[in-house]
Each structure stands twice: as C-alpha cells, then as structure tokens.
C-alpha cells in the first residue's frame, strides 16, 4: 500500500524529454534534468537520508511510473486535453494561472512537462479503474472486512454546538458582560455576526478532538449543556464562545454507516496489489536502461 502511494506522489515529477536520458524504459525516456529535479525535491524532504538510498528510491519509482504509463497505452487508454485542463484548474484552486505557473517555476518544473505528468497521472488512474471497477467489491467482502476488523469502527464523543468567534478583546469583553447579564446566546451571536464583529458557526455535530486548539477541545468536553462558555482565547488571537445543546458519547458505528469507507479501502487495496503486479512483471520483461 505504501509502495502505491509513493508512486502516485511522483506522477507529477517524472518526465520524458529530448535532453540526455537518465532512464529509458522500453521507448520511454526520463530526462536527466527531471531526474535531478525529482531527486532534489526528495532530498529536501528527507534531509537526513542517505543520498544514494534516496537516489535508488527515485530511480525505482520513476521506472514504476513509466511501466504503468506503458501498460495504460497498451490497453488503448487515452486522456483528452480538456480532462487535463480541468484537473489542473482543480489543483490550482484560488490561485491565478500566473501564480500557479510561478509556483512551478520556483520548483524548476516547466509548465509543459507538468501538463504531461498530469496527463500521465490521469492515464494511470483510468488504467486502475478499468482493471478494478468500482463494482468489483462485493457485499460479502465488505461485511467480512467489517466483522474481522480487530479494532471496531468508533465514532468519538460529539457535541451539538454553536461557536461564536470574536476578533478582538474589547468586543469579547462586551459579549461576555452581556451574556453574564442573561442575554440570549443565539440572539447575541446573530447580532454580532450581522455587525461584522464576529463569525458564527451554527449548530452542528462536532468532534472536539478535531479542533486545532487542545484547550478549546478540553473546554468543549467538560462544558455544561445549554449554557454559554467563554471567552476562550485562541492561539490565532481570536476569542471563542460556545453553547452546547446536546452531547453523545463514543459509539461503535454500524456496518451501513461505514460501508462506503470499507468499499473505498478494499478498492484501493485491490488496485494497489494490481499495480504492484504490473510493475513487477514489467521489470522482468521490459528493457530498462539506467544512466545516472
């Protein structure tokens, strides 16, 4: 499983080119320039790792990538330019196209090669979904996975809570004074939100342990129901108030609630195993030349 995730992480960094080749897999060439870029990135992440060990890992991963692309092409799988464009738009998020290209430039990644790698990533994704279809996981397999799992699927304690985030100490002090006098928490929160002096997260189920602030998480777990709590100063400088309407303790999740998650896990496992088999078979039958 780890092997597959590492391979996919590299899909955007390996590339073919007309410059000197570092690796040749059949007729597909991986340029020395792009090999060096990938190696540099990997070394920046694993600062204490042995250079030769990282170099070998990068070589193996780029070969694996090339073998998967080769398999996809052999099966006549194709990706349209529009698919590539939409994928890059999704990756870009709120950044402008220019900002995105500048970010790639800082990583020494030419934009046209980046596009080619996105296309290859889509090819491999289509290969996996074509070989292991979404409906290949049976109900029996999912139930067996659920029943045999050594640790049950658990849902942590949750609070049905509304959170009021006040931006400065003065407004937080005024809000605290009003609430202590008996002001209705919901009305106060709405008024402060309407005035722009605070932000409100309306009532919803929340797992306290998902909060970035351990202090606030602890307060949520111990606070009483239907009473306000706060102000609690966050590390971001804001002040937080909250009111809990309902609390439910940890519980084991029934099969139907975790069925989609189990299906995803089993699909990923099957695809990862198939990927490993394709790579292993390819390395035995395909001519691979390494020149680094």
pLDDT at 14 over 80: no
Residues 40 and 161 in one domain: no
pLDDT at 4 over 50: no
Residues 166 and 46 in one domain: no
Q: 211: which residues sit within 8 A by CB, 6+ positions away?
A: 217, 220
> Phi/psi class of residue 188: alpha, beta or left (left: φ > 0; alpha: ψ in -120 to 50)?
alpha
Residue corresponding to tokens 């640790």: 151
pLDDT at 18 over 50: no
* Residue 12: band (very low, low, confident or very high) from pLDDT cuts 50, 70, 90: very low
pLDDT at 9 over 60: no
Average pLDDT over residues 2-13: 44
Tens of pLDDT, residue by residue over 123-175, are 999 999 999 999 999 999 999 999 999 988 988 888 899 999 998 899 999 99
CB of 229 closer than 8 Å to CB of 241: yes
Q: Specify the CATH number for the domain of residue 25.
A: 1.10.4030.10
User: Which has the minimum average pLDDT: 14-18, 144-148, 188-192, 224-228?
Assistant: 14-18
Q: Nearest 5°: phi and psi at 228? A: -80, 155
Q: 245: which residues sit within 8 A by CB, 6+ positions away?
A: 160, 161, 162, 203, 225, 226
H or E stretch covering 166: strand 158-166
Residues 242 and 275 in one domain: no
Residues 221 and 245 in one domain: yes
Considering the domain boundaries, does residue 100 fall inside one? yes
Tens of pLDDT, residue by residue over 235-258, are 778 899 999 998 887 888 899 999
Which sign does the torsion angle of CA 125, 77, 274, 34 carry? negative
pLDDT, averaged across the chain: 86
Residues 26 and 119 in one domain: yes
pLDDT at 13: 43
Residues 126 and 235 in one domain: no
Q: How far apart are CA 238 and CA 157, in angstroms?
A: 25
Considering the domain boundaries, does residue 146 fall inside one? no
Which sign does the torsion angle of CA 37, 39, 42, 44 carry? negative
Residues 46 and 81 in one domain: yes
* Residue 217: band (very low, low, confident or very high) from pLDDT cuts 50, 70, 90: confident
Residues 282 and 218 in one domain: no
Average pLDDT over residues 198-209: 87
Considering the domain boundaries, does residue 171 fall inside one? yes
Tell me how many domains the chain contains. Answer: 2
Q: How far apart are CA 196 and CA 60, in angstroms?
A: 55
Reply yes or no: is the peptide bond before residue 231 cis, omega within 30 of 0: yes
Residues 103 and 198 in one domain: no
How many alpha carbons fall within 13 Å on the CB side of residue 7? Answer: 24
3-state helix, strand, coil in the chain (%, to 5): 60, 15, 25
* Residue 187: band (very low, low, confident or very high) from pLDDT cuts 50, 70, 90: very high
pLDDT at 283 over 80: yes
Considering the domain boundaries, does residue 147 fall inside one? no
Residues 11 and 130 in one domain: yes
Residues 193 and 80 in one domain: no
Considering the domain boundaries, does residue 57 fall inside one? yes
Range of the domain at 6: 2-135+261-290
CB of 189 closer than 8 Å to CB of 164: yes
DSSP string, 64-132: HHHHHHHHHHHTT----HHHHHHHHHHHHTTS-HHHHHHHHHHTT--HHHHHHHHHHHHHHHHHHHHHS
Q: How far apart are CA 94 and CA 210, in angstroms?
A: 25
User: Which has the minimum average pLDDT: 83-92, 194-203, 208-217?
Assistant: 208-217
User: Which has the minimum average pLDDT: 5-14, 144-153, 240-249, 268-277?
Assistant: 5-14
Q: 244: which residues sit within 8 A by CB, 6+ positions away?
A: 159, 160, 161, 220, 223, 224, 225, 226, 229
pLDDT > 90: what percent of the chain? 50
pLDDT at 213: 75
Q: Specify the CATH number for the domain of residue 168.
A: 3.10.50.40
Considering the domain boundaries, does residue 256 fall inside one? no
Residues 279 and 208 in one domain: no
Considering the domain boundaries, does residue 145 fall inside one? no
* Residue 19: band (very low, low, confident or very high) from pLDDT cuts 50, 70, 90: low
* Between residues 222 and 263, the one the model is more confident about: 263
pLDDT at 39 over 70: yes
266 beta partners: none
């Amino acid at each position: 499983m780890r092997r597959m995730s590492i391979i996919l992480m590299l899909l955007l960094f390996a590339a073919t080119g007309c410059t000197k080749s570092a690796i040749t897999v059949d007729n597909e060439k991986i340029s020395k320039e792009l090999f060096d870029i990938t190696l540099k990135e990997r070394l920046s992440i694993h600062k204490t790792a042995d250079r030769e060990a990282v170099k070998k890992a990068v070589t193996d991963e780029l070969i694996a990538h090339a073998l998967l692309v080769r398999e996809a092409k052999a099966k006549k799988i194709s990706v349209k330019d529009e698919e590539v464009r939409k994928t890059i738009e999704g990756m870009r998020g709120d950044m402008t196209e220019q900002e995105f290209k500048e970010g790639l430039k800082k990583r020494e990644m030419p934009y046209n090669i980046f596009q080619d790698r996105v296309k290859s990533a889509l090819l491999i994704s289509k290969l996996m979904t074509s070989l292991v279809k979404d409906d290949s996981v049976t109900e029996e397999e999912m139930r067996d996975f659920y029943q045999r799992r050594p640790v049950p699927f658990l849902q942590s304690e949750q609070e049905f809570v509304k959170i009021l985030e006040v931006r400065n100490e003065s407004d937080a002090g005024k809000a605290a004074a009003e609430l202590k006098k008996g002001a209705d928490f919901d009305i106060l929160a709405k008024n402060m939100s309407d005035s722009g002096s605070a932000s409100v997260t309306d009532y919803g189920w929340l797992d306290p342990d998902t909060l970035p602030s351990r202090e606030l998480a602890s307060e949520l777990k111990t606070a009483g129901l239907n009473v306000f709590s706060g102000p609690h100063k966050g590390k971001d400088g804001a002040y937080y108030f909250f009111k809990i309407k309902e609390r439910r303790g940890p519980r084991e999740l029934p099969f139907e609630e975790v069925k989609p998650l189990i299906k995803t896990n089993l699909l990923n496992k099957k695809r990862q195993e198939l990927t490993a088999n394709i790579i292993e078979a390819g390395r035995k039958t395909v001519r691979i030349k390494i020149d680094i």
